[in-house]
Amino acid sequence: MVDFSRVAELQALGKEIALCVIVKTTGSTPRRAGAKMIVFPDGQFEGTVGGGEMESLVIKEAIKAIESGQSTTVEYQMTDPHRGDPGVCGGQLEVYVEPIVAKQTLVVVGAGHVGKAVVELAHWLDFQVIVLDDRDGFANAESVPDADEYFSIPLSQLPNKVNIHRNTFIVLSTRGVDVDVEGLPAILESEAGYIGVIGSKRRWKTTEEKLLEKGISKELLNRVVSPMGLEIDAETPEEIALSILAEIVMLRRGGDGKRMTRVEKE
Q: Per-residue pLDDT tens for 182-237?
A: 999 999 999 899 999 999 999 999 999 999 999 999 999 999 999 999 999 999 99
Q: What is the pLDDT of residue 265?
A: 54
Domain layout of the chain by residue ranges: 4-100, 105-253
Read off the pTM: 0.78
What percent of the chain stands above pLDDT 90?
Answer: 68
Which letter, b or e, does each residue of 98-132 get, where b requires 16 or more Cβ atoms within 10 Å of its Cβ? bbbbbebbbbbbbbbebbbbbbbbbbeeebbbbbb
Predicted confidence (pLDDT) at residue 159 exceeds the cutoff of 90 = yes
Nearest to 191 by CA among 81, 42, 1: 42
Q: In what order do the strands lie in the sheet with 105-109?
A: 149-151, 128-132, 105-109, 168-172, 194-197, 224-225
pLDDT of residue 85: 44
Predicted local confidence at residue 4, as pLDDT: 86
Q: Is pLDDT of 151 > 90? A: yes
Over 90: is that where the pLDDT of 114 sits? yes
Q: Which residues of 178-212 are buried (b: 16+ CB within 10 A; e: fewer)?
A: ebbbbbbbbbbebebbbbbbbbeeebbeebbebbe
How does pLDDT run across 92-111, given as a tens digit for each residue? Answer: 889 999 998 877 899 999 99
Portion of the chain with pLDDT greater than 70, in percent: 93
CATH number of 105-253: 3.40.50.720
Beta-strand relationship, 45-47 and 36-39? antiparallel
Contacts of 4 (CB under 8 A, 6+ apart): none
Query: Tens of pLDDT along 31-81?
Result: 889 999 999 999 999 999 887 888 889 999 999 998 888 899 998 886 655
Task: State the pLDDT confidence band at 84, using cuts at 50, 70 and 90.
Answer: very low
d(C-alpha 210, C-alpha 228), whole Å: 19
* Residues 166-184: tens digit of each pLDDT: 889 999 999 999 999 999 9
168-172 and 45-47 as β-strands: parallel, antiparallel, unpaired? Answer: unpaired
Tell me what pLDDT residue 20 has.
Answer: 94
List the alpha helices (DSSP H) in 174-236. 177-183, 185-188, 201-213, 218-221
